[in-house]
Amino acid sequence: MKIAILGAGGFIGSHLVEHLLARTEHGVVGLDVTDDKLRGITGGNFTFVRADVRSRSQVEEVIRRADVVVDLVAYANPSIYVTSPLEVFDLNFMQNLEVARLCIRHGKRLIQYSTAEVYGKAVAGDAFSEETTDLVVGPIHRQRWIYASAKILLERVLYAHGVAGDLDYTIVRPFNFVGPRIDYLVPAHAIGGPRVFPHFMSALLTGGPIRLVDGGRVHRTFTDIHDANSAFQILLDRRITARDRNQSAFKADTVGEDECPDGEQRVGDNVKGDEETVVTSYHLVPIGALSVSSITACICST
């Protein structure tokens, strides 16, 4: 099988390439504007394509030749969400939407990396349900929420294509992956820049202050990148048919006779033959949630 990784030169992408090459099971094609974090990672079944995701012809050719497309393309730097919100929306939604459309055109399976930020402003102590809990984000003038909003919108579009039956996809919601090659160190007293973990490491190394938002009362979940790769491998290996999914304990939207009180139609044992217009694939995978939190740390499919 040939796996295309868009955003292969980033933190997650470089580790994913390294993970797949170590297993020697599949051919890997990585696409990105830079390969700095891929230095020293080699393998006979790896090809790197230096290109921007906006280079439509190059991206389409990579997707056309692949069996599975892993889309990691995104700005994942909180300071950019505030300083360049329109650029964040263009890359994180518009460009990723084009990737999804190319996967639909060429009939490719898409593994889309989203974010745990789509869970929004969770209320402490409340149990979170993937099926029923509302996703609540901040007010419009808080522009840092454009990152989560773009990811939510992309998830909704992918889900709609799944309902239409024209996209086989998996959504991954990472919880703060950490490990070697993440971001970069910053000078003492620096404001903005990379994610929180490199800021803390920089402060420890330079003796600079560790800046805490709101007094440090906010809890964060961190996931080792190697554990994240193990979870990805499960997703890659777990190939079940749409019919198998429908007969599992999980639910998927469908066109059938039974309609739930909320107006959505669900797969039931009585769905037969031509009534079964099923979601080709609807995986929603939170990776890295603490077992003590309200979000279940598990692999789940619907």
Q: Reduce the DSSP state of residue 136 to 3 states and report it.
A: strand
> What average pLDDT score do residues 259-277 get?
31
Beta strand 169-174 pairing with 177-178: unpaired
**39 token code pair:** 């230095």
C-alpha 173/C-alpha 168 separation (Å) is: 17
**75 token code pair:** 């700005």
Q: Is 157 exposed, middle or buried (0-12, 13-18, 19+ CB in 10 A)?
A: middle
- Over 200-227, what HEC string results? HHHHHHHCCCCCCHHHHCCCCCCEEHHH
Strands annotated E in 7-45: 27-32
C-alpha 175/C-alpha 168 separation (Å) is: 23
C-alpha 210/C-alpha 189 separation (Å) is: 9
**254 token code pair:** 């469908």
Is residue 292's pLDDT more than 50? no
Band of pLDDT at residue 289, cut at 50, 70 and 90: low
**284 token code pair:** 């929603």
Q: How confident is the model at residue 297, as a pLDDT?
A: 30
Q: How confident is the model at residue 274, as a pLDDT?
A: 33
The strand pairing partners of 253, in sequence order, are 266
What global pTM score does this model have? 0.78
C-alpha 128/C-alpha 123 separation (Å) is: 9
> What average pLDDT score do residues 36-45 get?
91
| Percent above pLDDT 70 for the chain | 77
Please name the helix (run of DSSP H) or strand (run of DSSP E) that holds residue 173, with its range, or none. strand 169-174
Q: Do residues 252 and 267 touch, judged by C-beta distance below 8 A?
A: yes
Range name among 16-25, 150-159, 240-249, 278-287 with the lowest pLDDT average = 240-249
Q: How far is CA 178 from CA 30, 175, 196, in A?
A: 21, 9, 10
Band of pLDDT at residue 114, cut at 50, 70 and 90: very high
Q: Do residues 51 and 58 touch, judged by C-beta distance below 8 A?
A: yes
Q: What pLDDT, in 10s, does the model give residues 165-213?
A: 999 999 999 988 889 998 777 777 777 767 777 888 888 888 888 877 7
**86 token code pair:** 């329109």
Range name among 22-36, 204-218, 232-246 with the lowest pLDDT average = 232-246
Is residue 55's pLDDT more than 90? yes
Residue 243 makes CB contacts below 8 A (sequence gap 6+) with 278
Band of pLDDT at residue 280, cut at 50, 70 and 90: very low
Band of pLDDT at residue 230, cut at 50, 70 and 90: very high
Q: Reduce the DSSP state of residue 287 to 3 states and report it.
A: strand
C-alpha 80/C-alpha 90 separation (Å) is: 13
Q: Do residues 183 and 196 touch, judged by C-beta distance below 8 A?
A: no
CA quadruple 62, 148, 80, 216: dihedral sign: negative
What the chain holds in terms of domains, given with CATH numbers, is 2-180+222-287 (3.40.50.720), 184-220 (no CATH)
